Amino acid sequence: MAKKKKKAAGTITIEAPVAEPPAGNYETRHIEVQLTGVQPRGLKRLFGGLYGAQLANGRLVQTSADVVRWIMEQAAGDGETAKGE
């Protein structure tokens, strides 16, 4: 059974410094992380707001891992690729 898309409760702005990696720098394709403290709540809030948003490959955000993928896509681009609703 498909989950109903929940209406976002609002938006937040997150500012983070970014830098261009050195030429030839290794870019990891896998992360494994254990969330602690308030981090799970933050992820759940982002998941609720981004559920159903579209990733660059056309896939819809349907998991917590998809939330991380969506955020990384935004960090990799210039912000113009955001398709969240």
Q: What is the pLDDT of residues 24-72, one digit of tens each?
A: 989 899 999 999 999 999 999 999 999 999 999 999 999 999 999 999 9
Return the closest-CA partner of residue 46 out of 80, 79, 17, 74.
74
pLDDT reading at 74 higher than 70? yes
Give the domain ranges of the chain: 39-76
Is the separation of the CB atoms in 6 and 54 below 8 Å? no
Output the pLDDT for position 21: 86
Residue 1 has pLDDT above 60, yes or no: no
Least confident segment among 7-16, 21-30, 55-64, 74-83: 74-83
